[in-house]
Structure 1
Amino acid sequence: MALRPTITLLPPNAALNGQVSPPGSKSITNRALLLAALAKGTSRLSGALKSDDTRHMSNALRQMGVTIDEPDDTSFVVTSSGVLTAPEAPLFLGNAGTAVRFLTAAVCTVKGSVTLDGDDYMRKRPIGPLLDALGRAGLDAQSATGCPPVQVRGTGPLQVKRFEIDGGLSSQYVSALLMLAACGDAPIEVALTGKDIGARGYVDLTLACMRAFGAHIEVLDDTLWRVAPTGYSANDYLIEPDASAATYLWAAEALTGGRIDLGVAAENFTQPDADAMHYIAQFPRMQAQINGSQMQDAIPTLAVLAAFNQTPVRFVELANLRVKECDRIQALYDGLNAIRPGLATVEGDDLLVAADPALAGTSCDALIETHADHRIAMCFALAGLKVSGIRILDPECVGKTYPKYWDALASLGVKFENR
């Protein structure tokens, strides 16, 4: 069996200072790509992310008759008739959760059958609540396992009055239905069947993006939206930098006592993960309990930072982390305890990080299994800024959302060993 590649950071023993421009937001890029594809005309998306996830989304849209040009490293030019057509082959979406979930809903407008599939990790990620919601509305979207692959049999124009969805497991289900709802032939209500919703801030991102492409949405209350049958209009759209990516740089700054200029202040982000800066700014006296339900992708960053805090930190309401690219609660537990046994414990869906500022300057022999999860690779790189001997498996998995992550750290003076 071939050896899997690893990367080992060499602790810089100095403050990290410099300027880094984070990539565009993955969450906003994939929303904007889909909405531009559903709009008649040509849209230019600027500041966009070019990564594995957005490549899977753009390639799938191309398979369905949309023209997408890429004139530079941060732009997509999307030209569409406003109608998606049935692809000749299944849509392969890797482990891109936004692409699979958003497209599962959107292809209900296609006349014909569409199969959506992904890699082995994606085939373990649940999509049942979204399929149930589509089915109750009279649409034909099915999966034998409750996970991809998914088979959708679309009939073209959408004749639905109401979607009901349990958004507790993932806000992406809610966003998928909201974006679809503007394609109806009459107003469509989208209703939550419970008050809980994972990362509600991402639904707000969806609504903002929809409105930018001409949708009209009434927010009737915290659990109910009414979407007008406007369809979408082509638009030129500027995508803000990725807040989840920014968290690694903010944490690197805090850990090393440095100053990293991202070109945008934390308070100017609209993405929920920017709230992590509130807790990063507390370091090394982070508060004793942090709720992760509304900034899920930032929790790996905060958990590794907490390992160097002065006092223990309990992370609560993390159930959604179990259905990300991997079971991130388990991956964080395994990785932290590989650095030092007893550094982390799990109680239900809570993660307790024991915290030990004396870790800084020590060495270990820790092999971090990333499970091909970009966020696990990037967060444990932070530990490598302070502890020697941390080897991170499959470092290129960062290409899912931040292909130039290792280059960004190198630009700040961090050195590596690659094997």
Structure 2
Amino acid sequence: MNAPERLFAPPAALDRAVFAARRRALADIVGTEGAVIVPANREQPRNRDVHFPFRQDSDFWYLTGFPEPDAIAVFLPGREAGELVLFVRPRDPEREIWDGRRHGTEGAREHFGADEAHTLDAFDAQLPGLLAGRRNVHVQLGDRPELDARITACVQRMREMSRRGPAAPEALLGLDASLHELRLIKSAAEVAHMRFAARVSAAAHIAAMRAVAPGVQEWQLAAEIHAVLARHDMEPGYGSIVAAGANACVLHYVENRAEVGTDDLVLIDAGGEYHGYTADITRTFPAGGRYGAEQAAVYDIVLAAQQAAIDTVRAGTPVADMHEAATRVLTQGMVDLGWLSGDVDGLIEQGEQRRYFMHGTGHWLGMDVHDVGRYRVDGDSRPFAAGMVTTVEPGLYVPPDDERVDARWRGIGIRIEDDVLVTDGEPDVLTGDVPKTREAVEALIASARG
């Protein structure tokens, strides 16, 4: 039997040099007075004796490339004995028979660039010596309360002993202004991974569009998406949304168990993750092959709003302009359709548009589908900069029981979403391979039906 072929060649893998370069960049931000502590993810039980598939913590992976659970990275810029210290699970021949080989302390040094490595049980004893003389500790408090308690207890003990030993850290700082700012700006290698994830995810959406027909189940369309991803060594970057008819008015609908009706629109919000980097695409298309008159009217407004928002994704433009551009087009559209009445500026000021457009227009994208990075700096909307990647995803949703609008609009939910790379020139739409004009969508479905 021949194995299914990939549609696209994957990018070059990230090697040790990439992770080392990230640590050098982080050192420039944190300085020699700082220390960074980042834990790996833990395995999560699914049911008895079974765990969910393991996915590494994004911060930990970004800094180390180490793939195992239950590890802790301590990064100490400028430390003469070595900057990266990893605490990892010990080798365990018996567990390795069941769960696979562990790298252990030796592997952490040889394969992942750790300057020093210890088993996890040494963390509490080693930490005071590692933090001695460091003024600040950068750690994302609140994510791992048990680890937070160990770190704060260590710092407190060091303060109590500071008269007889090295100075204790003075402050615990979050990662938003350090590691997360680095993650926000994508390198060329990261862009290559995201472009690959976007191309494969686009092909997956096209496969679902070709498979749509009245009577299919939502989960069957999800299967079309996931099959394309699996053939490219990818998995869903988040829970796939396949919402037929009024289900599309539930923003995070994930049941995917309903049957697609003849006159339904199908909203699919799905994206694949490739080696830590995810895409995020939404398309809304007609099960019967052609948009109805009301569906078409709403769709054209959403598409126009998205196009207006994408045009703002330019270096130097405030991030807030993207949402403002989409909101203005959508609100005018709601007035034109008779859903709202009044002056557009006044309606927006009063928040009336949130009846049918209740979410933001986009979010950062990268290793996490809702990626890290601040949207405001010093109280102002930050400007876009080359290397950022954002989604652009306006939508309109009329609940099926909303009696404020005519019955012909009820149950319509439409969202259109693309992933856009900020460059020094025009916006680079990474997910542009998926048709989104009504004519192109209808032509694709018609071609699949012969």
Tell me which protein shows more strand as a share of its residues: 1
* Higher relative contact order, chain-length normalized (CA < 8 Å, sep 6+): 1
TM-score normalised by structure 1 residue count: 0.24
From the CA coordinates, give the structure whose radius of gyration is larger.
2
TM-score normalised by structure 2 residue count: 0.23
